[in-house]
Amino acid sequence: MPREITAYSNPLIKRIRSLREKKHRREEGLFLAEGLRILTEARENGRIPEYLFYSREGAGHPLVRTLIFDVEDSGGQAIETVPDILSKLSGKDNPQAVVGVFAEFAGALGVLDRTSADIWLVAERLRDPGNLGTILRTGDAVGAGGLILIGECVDPFSVEAVRASMGALFTVPVVMAEWSEFLPWLRSGPGQLVGLSLDTENDYRAAKYDAPTFLLTGNEAQGMPAEMAAECDLLVKIPMLGKADSLNAAVATAVMAYEVLAQRRG
């Protein structure tokens, strides 16, 4: 049977709320996701929360009832609470109908099957959770095999990144690695490393992309380090016809991903 918690002082509420901080997420191996759409996307991809918090008003929705059943069936806890506590957990004044607590599931390079997809996304020292979420959504849209985060990137399991991904965190595999790990792994099999750069004359639409294509996007502020650019099989640039000197990292990744997809579709 579902539990009911209405007190802010409840130890479980304090524990779950602490997952908004990276330190506690790492200690617990858990993260927060909010919203019926995101949790339903997770469920459809085999990810069931360990804890599900919902309001009495939301419990009547058929998708919420399905989530409650699946959480309890898998040994988790479904907990009815009040909107104010949902707001406290999510950090939003207008909370979503449900908040889920999931086990973190970032994979390792060794589990990736590079032949499973023609397009892979690689981001180096990505800092903005909104960019990370948007890149995940792009990966989902183009059928990318996964997103490989290089170096000190923003935490993909932060509340902001999960929210920005709109459920794509549960559909696109995420791997975190250092460059010193990634490069030998990449060179151990097929794969064309394509870097987005302003220091090249190669137009992104004139280039030929070989499968599997690994699209490397550099840090938002500093771009791609020279040593990484030197390891790329191909550097391409997106022409800038106005006064801006570059596109947002997530937008540039999307433009490139769709160009690669267009070539694949012939």
Q: What is the pLDDT along the chain (266 residues), one digit of tens a residue?
A: 568 998 989 999 999 999 999 999 999 999 999 999 999 999 999 999 999 999 988 888 999 999 999 999 999 999 999 989 998 898 776 666 899 999 999 889 999 999 999 999 999 999 999 999 999 999 999 999 999 999 999 999 999 999 999 999 999 999 999 999 999 999 999 999 999 988 899 999 999 999 999 999 999 888 899 999 999 999 999 988 887 777 799 999 999 999 999 999 97
Q: Where in the chain is the domain with CATH 3.30.1330.30?
A: 3-103
* CATH number belonging to domain 109-265: 3.40.1280.10
Q: How far is CA 95 from CA 3, 21, 155, in A?
A: 20, 18, 22
How many Å apart are CA 232 and CA 241, to the nearest integer? Answer: 25
Catalogue the E-assigned strands of the chain. Answer: 3-4, 30-34, 51-55, 77-81, 98-103, 119-124, 147-150, 174-177, 192-196, 213-217, 234-236
Q: Where in the chain is the domain with CATH 3.40.1280.10?
A: 109-265
Residue environment code for 69-87, b if the CB has 16+ CB neighbours within 10 A, otherwise e: ebbeeeebebbbbbeebbe
* CATH number belonging to domain 3-103: 3.30.1330.30
